[in-house]
Amino acid sequence: MDRLISDWVSYCSSVQRFDASHFISLFTLNLNEETLNTLVSCCGCDSKGVFDRVVSVKEHGTLESRPYLYPLEKNKGTPDQLVTLARAELAELRKFCLLIDDEELVNIIDNVKLEYCDDKNKLDELRLRGDTPQYWIEEAVGDYIRNNMRNSNNWRGGLSEALYGLAADYYLAWYIEEPLINIAHLNFAPYFDFWKSGGEYFLTEDSFYVSSVFK
């Protein structure tokens, strides 16, 4: 058994303590079905839902020559397809902002201009801007999820860290964790559809930029 997998089993059973970051690469390992079942068995009655989503996400991505999971190029969407998928994702973000009663974010979403951006450098530059609606929403979603988990056992932090480490993507991790979240109306499926088509986006105060990870 891989040492990291062994550490995870000890961590979940409270035999040994680890910092959650120790498991950042756990799901990037080459895992067979039996081992993956072992990893998610800590989720109890929700383990089947988590298992199915890990399998689906990994089937739609590749780790070849990359530290993190990357969508398969054969599934890449056209600009028009990505814009359509992005609209569905933006609608989900708006629902969430209504849920937490954040009028400022709802107003921003209602008034942004959705733009397809061919210049990948532009999105990279925007990500360097810390104080933007993109990060306000991401932080709010993360806080809300942590406060509404059905199970707050000691392994929760490690699982979240490991799922984030699969693709370095919080929204994709939350899609996988969705069976564990005690909020029926949070829906991350539109984000998964967008991600597996090669989509990426960035939300500013006045624009919702959509692009493709593929050139």
Residues 12 and 53 in one domain: yes
Residues 51 and 91 in one domain: no
Give domain status of residue 84, yes or no: yes
Task: Identify the DSSP state of 14.
Answer: T
Residues 157 and 144 in one domain: no
Give domain status of residue 92, yes or no: yes
| Number of domains making up the chain | 2
Q: How many helices (H) and strands (E) does the chain have?
A: 10, 5
Residues 83 and 123 in one domain: yes
pLDDT in tens, 56-66: 999 999 999 89
Give domain status of residue 177, yes or no: no
Residues 139 and 159 in one domain: no
pLDDT in tens, 149-192: 766 677 888 999 999 999 999 999 999 999 888 776 789 999 99
Which domain range does residue 122 map to?
Answer: 77-148+183-215
Give domain status of residue 128, yes or no: yes
| Distance from the Cα of residue 50 to its chain's centroid | 13
Model confidence, pTM: 0.94
SS3 17: coil
Give domain status of residue 196, yes or no: yes
